[in-house]
Amino acid sequence: MRQVRFFAVPVLALSVIAFPVKLRAAGDDSKTARGTVTAMSGNSVTVKVGAKDMTFSVDNKTEVIAPGAGTKSRAAKAKGEAGAKLADVIKTGQAVRVTYHEMGATNHAATIEGVPSAGSSGGSTSDEKKAAAAKHATGTVKTVSASSLTVSGGGKDWTFTVDEKTNVIGTGLSTKGRAKGSKLTITEAVAAGDKVTVTYHDMGGTMHASTIRVTAKGKA
């Protein structure tokens, strides 16, 4: 696979790879953003990621991965040009995945790769996906209400929001639900003193409990 060089502007050279390949390791501090290109200049690319715009700086270390880049570079050279321009390979409105590093207040693009779509909700970042990933906490129920659950464990208190989507699992709870004829409320299923394991998601700083597993009932 051949790697060619091109100039986005006379002083800015980037790398173009003709076909999609596995991204090179960019280090433990690399992050990703997936979205739609809204603007480009000689030294930056702006991508709409979900509801926000993110601007990335590009330089001679930035790598661009896109089908047909080699053909466009050869065509440009046939015309006496240094190579294909960034705008010849990546277009505004195109879905891309950017691997980048935070360098002070600047996000530097290590790799820009054309992808089939921006993804659900118009795109996302690796930080958002990490925050949305399921996490777990184990401890003893301190307080419980119709909208929240506080658990003590690991030397700290954890407060989770609960709602109709929160699933409570525990010995005998299904039987009690059938006897009642409806799903148990959170306060009917969980009580202070119960030992629980909570599966939760960080939703913008709020920890939402998706599942509460009662492992041992507290003393009545």
pLDDT digits (tens, 9 = 90+) for 61-89: 888 887 776 777 677 778 877 666 777 78
Domain end: 94, 128, 162, which one?
Answer: 128
For 209, phi and psi rounded to 5 degrees? -80, 115
Domain end: 128, 147, 165, which one?
Answer: 128
The structure tokens 């195109």 sit at 94
Do residues 110 and 161 share a domain? no
Do residues 119 and 156 share a domain? no
The total number of structural domains in the chain stands at 2
Q: How confident is the model at residue 214 (pLDDT cuts 50, 70, 90)?
A: very high
Q: What is the C-alpha to C-alpha distance for residues 1 and 17, in angstroms, rounded to an integer? A: 8
Do residues 109 and 11 share a domain? yes
State yes or no: pLDDT of 23 exceeds 60. Answer: no
Do residues 11 and 101 share a domain? yes
Nearest to 145 by CA among 132, 166, 133, 161: 161
State yes or no: pLDDT of 20 exceeds 60. Answer: no
Do residues 142 and 179 share a domain? yes
Do residues 62 and 20 share a domain? yes
Query: Which pLDDT does position 17 carry in this prediction?
Result: 54
Do residues 34 and 74 share a domain? yes
Do residues 195 and 155 share a domain? yes
Do residues 33 and 112 share a domain? yes
Q: What is the C-alpha to C-alpha distance for residues 52 and 89, in angstroms, rounded to an integer? A: 24
Range of the domain at 115: 3-128
From 10-19, 146-155, 203-212, the region with the lowest mean pLDDT: 10-19
Q: How confident is the model at residue 42 (pLDDT cuts 50, 70, 90)?
A: confident
Q: What is the C-alpha to C-alpha distance for residues 47 and 100, in angstroms, rounded to an integer? A: 12
Do residues 79 and 169 share a domain? no
Tell me the residue ranges of DSSP E strands in the chain: 3-9, 12-17, 31-40, 44-49, 52-57, 63-65, 95-103, 106-114, 124-125, 135-144, 148-153, 156-161, 167-170, 195-203, 206-216
Do residues 7 and 103 share a domain? yes
Do residues 56 and 108 share a domain? yes
Question: Which residue would you say has higher pLDDT here, 189 or 129?
Answer: 189
State yes or no: pLDDT of 159 exceeds 50. Answer: yes
The structure tokens 């959170």 sit at 186
- CATH number, domain at 160? 2.40.50.320
Mean pLDDT of 94-122: 91
Domain end: 128, 153, 170, which one?
Answer: 128
Question: Which residue would you say has higher pLDDT here, 57 or 65?
Answer: 57
